Structure 1
Amino acid sequence: MKPDIRNLDFNLLKALDALLDERSVTRAAERLALTQPAVSGMLNRLRDSFDDPLFVRAQRGIVPTPRAQQLAGPVKQLLSDIESMLRPQAFDPALADLTFTIAATDYALKAVVVPFIHRLRPLAPNVRVAVRGVDQQTLVTQFEDGTVDLALLTPETLPAGLHSQQLFEESYVCLLREGHPQARAERFTLEVFCALDHVLVSMAGNAFHGVTDDALARVGRSRRVVTSVSSFLILPELLADSDLIAVVPRRLAQHASGLSSLEPPLAIPGFCKTMAWHGRTHSDAGQQWLRALLADTCALTPTH
């Protein structure tokens, strides 16, 4: 009879391995935590599958047939391979060689990705980080096909069905050049704030109204926004050579060389920065380590 692989399963192979090692049905049953009749039944199934007696009775226990002896090495190797496959994958960042793709806005690039890479490089020198812009229309598809591993978002823009973790709460400060008349003023009043010329960062690149304007409207005031840009990256140059002022996230202001920051003269609601990832990489050991390092980096980044 031709052996049929469909009649074999992992437990039968474990039984065969135990019988080959123990040369006793009783001892094999003890090793497998099974009853002796159960192991005898498994041996009968093995005999049918391999069309060979496999073991014959001897004065002390059982002895393998030549066919069983031929199977001993391959079975042990196969069991070892299966157990290795089922064992959680170990991850050594010092030896890891992979690419980690992050979708981020320019704000998250400066506030999150830059300090993350500074932490990552000494720990995992062969891990490459690729950064791409956030495309809300195709983000889920990018997660599914593996072109994005992690996205830095706000809860309001988080697509349904993704895993997520809050990284930090962000607040706003006013940013202006160091020699600005208000940089050394004793008081920064709401009246002065509203009278200054403002720069607004709008992702659309054409809006002159933002969360600061909503906060002003709630107290019956307004400001004069004279410039709207689509990126935070241009702000330092705009502010450095003018008396313009900008309301910016605190984590960006702390890295602005040659500029001063002031607390806003009114309450401006901040926002939450969140990282999101797909179920496809949720249990991957390397991805778990990278996500933990990124979250830890955000927690350690000073915000003063």
Structure 2
Amino acid sequence: MDNLRKLDLNLLLTLDTLLKDPNVTRAARSLNLSQPTVSVQLAKLRKNFDDPLFLPGPRGMRPTARAELLRAPLGQALALLNKAVSAPGPFVPAESNHTWQVVAADYCETTVLLPLLRNLRREAPGTRVAVVENANSHIAQAGGKDKVDLFFHIVEESPPGMRCRMLFSERYVLVSRVGHPLLKSAPTLKQFLELDFVIISPDGAGFWGNTDRVLADMRLARKVVLSVPHFMFAVFTIATTDLVGMLPLRLVRDNPQLQYFVPPIDIPGFEMNMLWHEYLHREPSHKWLRDLIVQSLGEEEES
């Protein structure tokens, strides 16, 4: 590195040009410089390398042995440097073999990633997606991992300093299996409180949620008899037992085994967001994936 500090990059560009065509006049024309300027730069190069670099020959200048040793590595280094500082080319989905890593709970696997996969497999069949599940208590750690391309969460529990795009608004509905003996129609508040509930607790073993907070403000309580960490297990449980749940509408609206009702109390919904690191914001493949997710969700709503 000490040797690099002594050299001006422009000198190396001049040397590379002279190695390709050892003629000061033509090199000056190629570099858009004056001939005296190139001659001065050649003099500096000779001093830095302690070598003449080019000697007079019968047909013009001829590279010395030291200059010949520099030819290949210098050309490769300048090509790599030029590639590093050039603007990235357009992302071509059909030719990509990129692997994306996303952080998502099973709710988002169903409501965000499943609609995406249909388009992704068609437009970028060589790409892969790795889904990493994270509990709410660990979501900040996930956001700090450089390998994570995207994660999906609510803004209130998301890491600071992340780029964010709202994907959709969600609301809660009361869900039971079709043919539930106590739910022929939307229940009254009294009937609601008599039902046996399953609750989703991503951090594990919790028996308290948004519904319970609303009821507590009314000095009421429901019966929560099962706490599970995953949405899909709650869905399966509701579909095969007489337990009911307060679940996001998108998760259950197309399930023929389930029925849902507007609950007798007003439960706040949430906004699902897509989040990513600032350093990925302008990366072409990343931007393409984000746009495809939004497009896929729009198509899902229209169908």
TM more than 0.5: yes
Equivalent residue number for residue 67 of structure 1? 64
- Which aligned pairs between 1:1-304 and structure 2 lie closer than 5 A? 7-19=6-18, 21=21, 23-25=23-25, 28-29=27-28, 31-34=30-33, 37-50=36-49, 51-52=51-52, 54=54, 63-67=60-64, 70=68, 75-90=74-89, 91-135=91-135, 148-180=148-180, 185=185, 189-218=188-217, 220=218, 222-230=220-228, 231-278=230-277, 284-302=283-301
Task: Write the distance in 2 (CA, Å) between the matches of 1:240 and 1:135.
Answer: 24
Task: Write the distance in 1 (CA, Å) between the matches of 2:149 and 2:275.
Answer: 9
User: Using a 3 Å threshold, how does the CA distance of structure 1 residues 81 and 199 change in structure 2: closer, same or farther?
Assistant: closer
User: Using a 3 Å threshold, how does the CA distance of structure 1 residues 183 and 32 change in structure 2: closer, same or farther?
Assistant: farther
Q: Is contact 1:196-1:223 (8 Å) kept?
A: no
Once the 2 structures are TM-superposed, how far is the Cα of residue 67 of structure 1 from its aligned partner? 3.3
Alignment-mate amino acid for residue 101 of structure 1 = Q
Cα deviation per residue 1:23-66 (whole Å; 9 max; x = unaligned)?
454x65565454555433222212323421637699xxx94324
**Helix, strand or coil for the counterpart of 1:227?**
strand
**Helix, strand or coil for the counterpart of 1:15?**
helix
Task: Write the distance in 1 (CA, Å) between the matches of 2:281 and 2:41.
Answer: 38
Tell me how large the CA RMSD over aligned residues is: 3.9
**Helix, strand or coil for the counterpart of 1:275?**
strand
TM-score (norm 1): 0.75
Cα deviation per residue 1:163-220 (whole Å; 9 max; x = unaligned)?
44333322222222233467664x65545444544332223443333212333455x3
Once the 2 structures are TM-superposed, how far is the Cα of residue 249 of structure 1 from its aligned partner? 0.9
Alignment-mate amino acid for residue 117 of structure 1 = L
Q: Is contact 1:236-1:256 (8 Å) kept?
A: no
Q: Is contact 2:173-2:262 (8 Å) kept?
A: yes
Task: Write the distance in 1 (CA, Å) between the matches of 2:242 and 2:72.
Answer: 80
Task: Write the distance in 2 (CA, Å) between the matches of 1:211 and 1:18.
Answer: 69
User: Using a 3 Å threshold, how does the CA distance of structure 1 residues 199 and 33 change in structure 2: closer, same or farther?
Assistant: same
Q: Is contact 1:177-1:242 (8 Å) kept?
A: yes
**Helix, strand or coil for the counterpart of 2:223?**
strand
Percent of aligned pairs with the same amino acid = 34
User: Using a 3 Å threshold, how does the CA distance of structure 1 residues 203 and 17 change in structure 2: closer, same or farther?
Assistant: closer
Task: Write the distance in 2 (CA, Å) between the matches of 1:224 and 1:135.
Answer: 25
**Helix, strand or coil for the counterpart of 2:301?**
coil
The 10-residue stretch of structure 1 (103-112 or 270-279) with the greater mean CA deviation from structure 2: 270-279
Alignment-mate amino acid for residue 225 of structure 1 = K
Task: Write the distance in 2 (CA, Å) between the matches of 1:274 and 1:136.
Answer: 14
Q: Is contact 1:144-1:280 (8 Å) kept?
A: no
TM-score (norm 2): 0.75
Task: Write the distance in 2 (CA, Å) between the matches of 1:208 and 1:66.
Answer: 80
- The number of equivalent residue pairs is 295
